[in-house]
């Protein structure tokens, strides 16, 4: 459980260039501190939920409102609170923010920088970031919820590699172990199949993930299988495209974060996702239930 | 000008695993060869236009219809032809496809793999891919259209670096020189300020681009300025987040491609984008005019 200290902790940025009383334009989420009252809009935020798709994040917000009995402002309902951009959508229900992050490390990285600045300027305390995604599994039944302990890059190393001003910078990609354990326990209590996973995070869906069905493929089926086996032996149980940035950036900033992702296929058996939408929605519902149980345990929804 | 041979050329995939008569699920664009007739839907495609934002791509399609007098199917109008997904949107007007690619190399990379497979399965011939984006400039007036000759990664090297099955793979990131020259000439004929640019393409908007206003910043203003100067001396005139994958993947597949991006600010002077939407729309209009002139020159719209 989060300590009282954690609950009072503000998001601290790691940037000595920024003045506390600055004006700030959060370009990609279309918010401007001169035009929007960040404290009034976001000061009470406790949980930021994120996932790739905009429709899915809207449905998640709607489902949380229903599931948790969150009261929305009279006459307003659930609205996209960042209508000035179409790069992301964001819904807020009580202390819960639901926002989509698009696909890939760069897209979630832009969002994380701007969300951290937003939460800092809003003075929000005790904020937890949780990603709810879909992924490929390794040796798992489709529909298994993977809760990441840490994330590996395409070289199977547990750090995000960047080139900042042309120089290599490596940042450790680990998730909060207490939060991961708590989510696993909640899943267990709900009889939802969930596992602790090392997560492989790539910058490409086809070649870097060892798929043989992309427009380009220069390796053999044997090399593909050997790579997936090597990843499995390194502890990898699921593969997706955002967890590395989520882990590295939140760890660097001291923000408590988790990554849940439900497997849509077993990559040992196939490359193409061929589930129908209703089954995917059913699988995603498992993450919703874990998330709702987590939020309930925090007593933050009045 | 494209030769007769170019105009008849089909998109050839670089993947010996794929059978020509296969069924294929293009997961992220929500198309399935068992449910959709790719040849009927996309066989006549000649130009694929892409940009980051979904609304912008819709407006682009609307503007091209008006500008070029393209006739849409009776009673149908301009519709998103990939309604089964919300990851991307795609509009088709005669032989022109407009599709958004989201932000960053992974997001455009997924799209490029699936578009190349789509064009190949549809039997489309003489297809050109053109990205229309926004970017930061170096030493250029905001509103300048940069037409990329090649793209550099965050280490200022002219290739896309990937780790495929854990092994490093580098692919040259160059654009078709004839197409770039043609677009520059069209811009000149329209009195639009356009330059040939080496383009820096990063996987992060804040730190890798040398911004001092992200949630994390570990370098000094002097180091930032030195990096931007070094990039400038390497020929860089604009900075964005997708051109490297566009150049590398299309070059590998032999697809003719170009990257146009209009500068929203001069990075030698500032980090934050503070233009209002109407000015950005005006700048984007310059790329529309160049694109429309290019399409007119091809006599492909009946």
The model's pLDDT over A184-224, given as tens digits with 9 standing for 90+, comes to 999 999 999 999 999 999 999 999 999 999 999 999 999 99
Q: Confidence class of residue A5 from pLDDT cuts 50, 70 and 90?
A: low
Find the CB nearest A105 among B17, B27, B104: B104
B164, B167, B248, B271, best to mutate vs chain A, most A CBs in 10 Å: B164
pLDDT mean over A62-85: 91
- For residues A181 and A256, give the distance between their C-alpha atoms in angstroms, rounded to a whole number: 13
> What pLDDT is attached to residue A277?
85
From B227's Cα to the closest Cα of chain A, the distance in A is: 6
What value, to the nearest 5°, has the Cα angle with vertex A5 and ends A3 and A7? 75
Determine the pLDDT at residue A209.
98
**Cα radius of gyration (chain A):** 19
Residues of B in contact with A206 (CB under 8 A): 109-110, 113
B37-63 pLDDT per residue, tens:
999 999 999 999 999 999 999 999 999
The DSSP secondary-structure symbol of B54 reads H
Question: A59 CB contacts (<8 Å, ≥6 apart)?
Answer: none
* Residues A226-249: tens digit of each pLDDT: 999 999 999 999 999 999 999 999
At residue A27, the pLDDT reads 94
For residues A249 and A115, the answer to whether their CB atoms sit within 8 Å is: no
Q: pLDDT category, B301, cuts 50, 70, 90?
A: confident
Predicted confidence (pLDDT) at residue B225 exceeds the cutoff of 70: yes
CA distance A184 to A146: 9
Which SS3 state, helix, strand or coil, does residue B14 take?
Answer: strand
Percent of chain B with pLDDT over 90: 90
Q: Quick one: DSSP state of residue B27?
A: G
- Dist. CA A141–CA A137, nearest whole Å: 8
- pLDDT tens for residues A136-173? 999 999 999 999 999 999 999 999 999 999 999 999 99
Report DSSP state, residue B130: E
Where do the domains of chain A lie, and which CATH numbers do they carry? 20-298 (3.40.50.1580)
CA separation (Å) from A285 to A56, A60, A223, A251, B138?
11, 9, 35, 28, 47
Q: Is the pLDDT of residue B4 over 70?
A: no
pLDDT of A180 > 50? The answer is yes
Q: How far apart are the first and last CA of chain B?
A: 19
Residue range B112-148, pLDDT digits in tens: 999 999 999 999 999 999 999 999 999 999 999 999 9
> What is the residue whose two structure tokens read 């849940």?
A260
Predicted pLDDT of residue B5: 58
3-state secondary structure chain A: CCCHHHHHCECCCECCCCCCCCCCEEHHHCEECCCCCHHHHHCCCCEEEEECCHHHHHHHHHHHHHHHCCCCCCCCCCCECCCCCCCCCEEEECCEEEEECCCCHHHHHHHHHHHHHHHHHHCCECCEEEEEEEEEECCCCCCCEEEEEEEECCCCCCEEEEEECCEEEEEECECCHHHHHHHHHHHHHCCCCEEEEEEEECCCCCCCCCCCCCCECCCCHHHHHHHHHHHHHCCEEEEECCHHHHHHHHHHHCCEEEEEEEEEEECCCCCCCCCCHHHHHHHHHHHHHHHHHHHHHHCCCC
Work out the number of other CB atoms within 10 angstroms of the CB of residue A74: 6
Q: From the CA of B212, how many Å to the nearest CA of chain A?
A: 6
Query: What is the per-residue pLDDT for B146?
Result: 98
Residues B97/B49, Cβ–Cβ less than 8 Å: yes
Is B14 exposed, middle or buried (CB count within 10 Å of its CB: 0-12, 13-18, 19+)? middle
CA nearest to B111 within chain A: A205
To the nearest whole Å, the CA of B224 is away from the closest chain A CA by: 7
The arithmetic mean of pLDDT across residues B270-294, rounded, is: 94
Residue B170 has pLDDT above 70, yes or no: yes
* Residue A1 pLDDT level (bands cut at 50, 70, 90): very low
Residue pair B241/B205 in contact (Cβ under 8 Å)? The answer is yes
pLDDT, mean of residues A115-143: 97
Which of B54, B204, B272 is opposite residue A86, by nearest beta carbon? B54
Judge whether B143 and B281 are in contact, CB under 8 Å.
no
* Residue of B18, B27, B274 lying closest to A273 (CB–CB): B27
Residue A141 token pair: 């039944």
> Which residue intervals of chain B are DSSP H helices?
4-8, 38-42, 54-68, 105-122, 177-189, 221-233, 243-253, 277-298
pLDDT at B284 over 80: yes
Measured between beta carbons, the chain A residues lying within 8 angstroms of B159 are none
Suggest the residue from B166, B172, B219, B251 to mutate for an interface test with chain A (most A CBs closer than 10 A).
B166
Give me Rg for the CA atoms of chain B: 19
ipTM of the complex as predicted: 0.96
B102 contacts A15? CB cut-off 8 A = no
Among the partner residues A87, A156, A253, nearest to B216 by beta-carbon distance? A253
CB B252 within 8 A of CB B192: no
How many A×B Cβ pairs under 8 Å? 217
CA distance B102 to chain A (A): 7
The larger pLDDT score, comparing residue A216 to residue B19, is at: A216
Statement: residue A2 has pLDDT above 80? no
Rounded to the nearest integer, the mean pLDDT of chain B is 95
Q: Where do runs of H (alpha helix) occur along B128-220?
A: 177-189
């Amino acid at each position: 459980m989060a300590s009282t200290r954690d609950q009072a902790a503000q998001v601290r940025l790691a940037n000595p260039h920024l003045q506390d009383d600055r004006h700030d334009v959060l370009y990609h989420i279309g918010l401007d501190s001169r035009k929007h009252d960040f404290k009034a809009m976001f000061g009470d935020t406790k949980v930021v939920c994120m996932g790739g798709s905009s429709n899915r994040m809207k449905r998640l917000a709607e489902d949380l409102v229903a599931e948790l009995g969150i009261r929305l402002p009279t006459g307003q309902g659930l609205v996209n609170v960042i209508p000035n951009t179409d790069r992301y959508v964001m819904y807020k229900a009580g202390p819960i923010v639901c926002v989509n992050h698009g696909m890939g490390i760069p897209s979630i990285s832009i969002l994380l920088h701007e969300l951290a600045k937003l939460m800092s300027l809003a003075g929000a305390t005790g904020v937890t970031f949780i990603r709810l995604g879909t992924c490929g599994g390794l040796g798992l039944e489709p529909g298994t919820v993977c809760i990441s302990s840490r994330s590996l890059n395409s070289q199977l190393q547990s750090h995000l590699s960047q080139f900042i001003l042309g120089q290599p910078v490596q940042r450790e990609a680990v998730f909060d172990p207490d939060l991961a354990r708590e989510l696993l326990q909640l899943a267990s209590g709900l009889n939802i199949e969930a596992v602790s996973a090392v997560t492989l995070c790539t910058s490409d869906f086809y070649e870097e993930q060892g798929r043989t069905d992309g427009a380009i493929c220069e390796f053999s089926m044997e090399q593909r299988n050997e790579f997936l086996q090597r990843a499995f032996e390194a502890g990898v149980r699921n593969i997706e495209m955002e967890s590395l940035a989520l882990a590295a950036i939140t760890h660097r900033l001291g923000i408590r974060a988790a990554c849940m992702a439900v497997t849509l296929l077993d990559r040992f058996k196939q490359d193409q996702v061929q589930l129908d939408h209703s089954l995917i929605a059913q699988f995603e519902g498992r993450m919703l239930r874990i998330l709702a149980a987590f939020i309930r345990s925090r007593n933050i929804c009045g």
